[in-house]
Amino acid sequence: MTLEYTSSELMAVAGARELKDGQIVAVGLGLPVVAAFLAKLTHAPNMTILFELGIIDPEPIETGVGLADPRVWYRSKVMSSFVDILGAIAHKGRVDVGFLGGLEVDVYGNINTTLVGDPRGKFRHMTGSGGANDIASSARQTILIMRHEARKLKQAVSFITSPGYLSGGDSRMRAGLLGGPSRVITDKAIFGFDPTTKQMTLLSIHPNTTREEVLANMSFTPIVPEHVPFTDPPTAEQLRLIRERIDPERMYLG
């Protein structure tokens, strides 16, 4: 039997698969929330979830309307502050994975959530960093999840809100930053980064999507191996958990 699923559900499942049991994961708003709780309910029960505003390991009773909604904080192990999460945990290199969203990402994994347009002319300010810069700068690895569009996948972002590998090579290390991006998950594909050049590399293509479609909707050409597999689809149990327990109101899944 072929399961029916949406691109958002596949993105959340792909994100969950990147998380490991026992990791400390700083989770941003949106699909990272769905992915993190899916991992926690399946293969990573001992994973620790952090929300930047001061919440550790909650058990939400409802999806809520954002991470500041107290319904999402239910049964938290810790209810503290930005200072503790970002200062006492993230800045000390204790976060294994930073799981973020973004408006734009470039070939080196630099993330923009600050402005869209040309900084020298017409542009529009967006939400900005929040704790994303701290997390992307300090986490041992960063996962980004976003829609696959040429205007979002840029050769160079309009503004570096959260650093990836900066200009490639060892530039991130020379800047004194820990870790770096490990995955970019879109609604068409999954990307990693070349160990030497730090350029984005195509790892898998989602079912019902072609290589040509992936590349046509990017403003740069990533590294493309000779053989690129298809992304594994969600299982029936993963879809049940997403739809019945994690986001039944489709707050994040749309």
212 annotated active-site: no
Which of the residues 4, 9, 18, 52 is marked catalytic?
Answer: 52
Contacts of residues 64-71 at CB distance under 8 Å and 24 or more positions apart, as own/partner, are 64/251, 65/251, 66/29, 67/29, 67/33
Active site residues: 52
